[in-house]
A and B are shown apart, each in its own frame.
Chain A
Amino acid sequence: MKITEDEVRYVADLANLRLTPEETARMQKEMDGILGYMDKLNELDTSQVEPMAQVLYGAGETATLRADIGRATLSNEDAVGNAVISGGGYFKVPRVIER
């Protein structure tokens, strides 16, 4: 077995994802099958291969830099406009510090 239900719960915590017990059981089965399939890669000897970290990059190292000049950006109103709760130009979240 590649992954247990306990490990599924651990990974769900890492991902900040609430799963129901039914989802956890199903996830364990599906991930186990898929991760088992992924083991196929171990058939290949890649000890002499450099990982492909960049897909394509033809331009010079500094080509994507622009002049350091200020320019208009999203307004504060637009930036928080899609938040569920905002106020005073900020996103609002549940209290994290007790006073």
Chain B
Amino acid sequence: MEIAKLSMDEVGAGLRAKQFSAVELAREALRFAETENPKTNAYLRLCPERALATAARVDQKLAQGEDPGPLAGVPIAVKDVILTRGVGSTCGSRLLANYVPPYDATAVSRLEEAGGVIVGKTNCDEFAMGSSNENSAFGPVRNPVDLERVPGGSSGGSAAVVAQGTAVLSLGSDTGGSIRQPASFCGVVGVTPTYGRVSRYGLVAFASSLDHIGPFARTVRDSARLLSVIAGRDEMDSTSAFAPVPDYAAALNGGGVRGLKIGLPKEYFAGLASETGDLIHRGIEALAKLGCEVREISLPATDYAIACYYIIATAEASSNLARYDGVRYTTRVDGDTLLEMYRNSRGDGFGAECKRRIMLGTYVLSAGYYDAYYLKAQKVRALIARDFAAAFAEVDAIVTPVSPFPAFKLGEKLDDPLEMYLSDIYTITGDLAGIPCMSVPCGRTAAGLPVGMQILCNHFNEAGMFRLADAFERAGGFAGE
């Protein structure tokens, strides 16, 4: 078997035809991950015991003629901000270097119940804060497409393992673009579902009004299948949505997209030159050839999204990260008093980006500044959501770039945090509005760097989003180019 290119269908067919067992496939995935990982640092740890135990259960079910589940035997990697019982989960932070969770995230238990085989935990920016994966306490991830370049962030490891083929699928988390941007940089599919579509129980909180769990895959269809498994109401997360979960992959069904109305927000294309712009425009032409009606729309509040996002996200982060106090989670630096111990533990444990966000968030929430920053940002957020609601009264989907540029070189943007924040412009709006959005491969630059096209749809219209992405993938043939 050539694990690097396996699709879910091929895994299923191979198991049914007894070309390989789930245990053999898991062993091969683990072996391949071990040989590849020194190049990319995409895995923080492999979990062979757990993987082989899950795979053995799948084989047993197959032997007994039972349904092994929709993800049977599929090797899956999980971002290290998503908790796995008994398997260390560091969140890319020194503070949690030795943390071993006592419970599984709901997304994790659901995918294992569906027969998915978790092979390891992936590297990420510390507490999912970053756009390049250079903020991990355990070293940056290198992009498998070009090892001199970043894989994007913060779910850089989860994008890289699917691109290099050491896993067939992976889970990431997205707060401001942390699934779509690395998917774009690594040339894979990355999906941010509707806010509340997937339970966040067991996702280490960064910004609770913006955090999502979502899938990475090499094809739209596989990403749709994984989402169907992990989505749905969960009693352990009161923000999880009650709306029923469709079989997203079945809904694809080679469906046509003729007559679908697609909006191109002019604010996202102003000033977008370069190869990225050319490739996105080529992609839009391909959609038009498929019979989509393409028209220009306006999302007037776009220009204010970055400022709005970095107020809300940092404010929520400063609250969520308050729990790392040297008492409950693994790392403590002593001090003469309790307060000194807190301060030393946090000062020593957090990296520069986390400190910057804790400071910004604490500042905007502090006495005298709340109205000027946080409340103002919540109002602007309402305007951004209103823009999208108005747009979706006119169009079925919105298409934009994912990032203004393809993967950049390691170290290239480290010295200017504001510039790094500004590069999130196309992805943060979807998180602010809580709508589903995804990155689908849209060709490569002359230097061979992948570029992703973003598709955004209205709340809970993942099925429509997948249908468009699938039609594009099949017509464009850009995937795996």
Contact = CB atoms under 8 A, between A and B. Distances in A.
Interface of A: 3, 7-8, 11-12, 14-20, 23, 27, 30-31, 33-35, 37-44, 46, 49-53, 55-56, 58-59, 63-64, 66, 74-75, 78-85, 91, 93-94, 96
Interface of B: 98-100, 102-103, 194-196, 209, 235, 238-239, 241-243, 301, 303-304, 306-308, 310-311, 318, 322, 325-332, 334-344, 346-348, 350, 352, 355-356, 358-360, 362-364, 366, 373, 375-383, 385, 417-418, 421, 434, 459
B382 A17 contact: no
A51 B373 CA distance: 12
B421 A34 contact: yes
B346 A55 contact: no
A54 B46 CA distance: 38
A11 B332 contact: no
Nearest to B329: A82
A38 B194 contact: no
B103 to A, nearest CB: 7
Q: Is the interface of B mostly helix, strand, loop or mixed?
A: helix
B363 A11 contact: yes
Contacts of B243: 58
Pairs A-B, 8 closest by C-beta atoms: A18-B347, A51-B378, A78-B102, A46-B379, A52-B382, A84-B332, A18-B343, A15-B362
Contacts of B311: 38, 41
Given A51-B382, A52-B381, A85-B332, A41 B308 contact: yes
Given A17-B343, A17-B359, A27-B359, A41 B378 contact: no
Given A38-B307, A41-B304, A74-B103, A82 B355 contact: no
A40 B307 contact: yes
A18 B336 CA distance: 14
A34 B417 contact: yes
